[in-house]
Amino acid sequence: MVDSVYMPSHPLSAPAERLVEAAQATLAEAGVEGLTLRAVARRAGVSHGAPLRHFESTSALRSELAARGFRALDEAIDKAASQAPGGSSPLRRLEAAGRAYVDQAVANPALFALMFRQEELDPAYPGLAERSAAAFDQLVRHVRAAQDVGLEPGQDTRVLASSLWALVHGIATLWSQGALASTSGASLDSILVAALAIWIPQETPEGTEA
């Protein structure tokens, strides 16, 4: 599941790039706890000291993976929104964006866990904050477009975007952790459909949301 979607966040040398690939595979298989410099070195087939040539700490390597994760998320949302059925409707594009978020998170649960463990990332790592902000800004733009056609027109856009983000994030993380399935017995799709239906009307409202 580690594929070409994970583009470089800034240019790295070829050996560093190979370490990143090994790190993505290690993360997917062993989880955030299992992502250590030594484990990455083993998977990359180099000695355990080699990664320190390219990443000064575990935190730097994790931050690189997180930055790529945010970039991949941003791109997946962009693609899904632009290809949404009934794509001319901002409401349908917003819905597609929410679905894409959940899809990305559920497909890469360990990566998502890593992306949001801020205490284990380096906030100053090049590109990390920018890519995270870019993904959120895209969500804000979709929310604003939806507001322009009548979705919760009186609400502050960033506040509204934050709460939609929290909704899809909560669905994705609770599902990935198995909590939703074991506790509620419902399917991921049924929960997502219900949640989005409450948020986003099926037809463009004509002032009914005001």
Partner DNA sequence: TGTACATCAGTGAACGCGCGTTCACTGATGTAC
Contacts with its own copies, residue ranges (CB under 8 A): 31, 116-119, 132-133, 136, 152, 155-156, 158-163, 165-171, 173-174, 177-180, 183-186, 190-192, 194-195, 198-199
Q: Rule CB under 7 A: is residue 10 a binding residue for DNA?
A: no
Q: How near is the Cβ of 24 to its own copies at its closest, in Å?
A: 19
Q: Which of 5, 6, 8, 15 binds DNA (CB under 7 A)?
A: 15
| DSSP-assigned states of every residue in 162-195 | HHHHHHHHHHHHHHHTTHHHHHH---HHHHHHHH
Nearest to 128 by CA among 84, 66, 172, 195: 66
- Cβ proximity to its own copies: between 20 and 151 the closer is 151
Nearest to 115 by CA among 106, 124, 103, 105: 105
Q: Rule CB under 7 A: is residue 39 a binding residue for DNA?
A: yes
Whether 71 contacts 29, CB under 8 Å: no
Hey, what are 203's tokens?
């037809």
Residues that bind DNA (CB under 7 A): 13, 15, 18, 34, 36-39, 41, 46-50, 52-54, 57-58
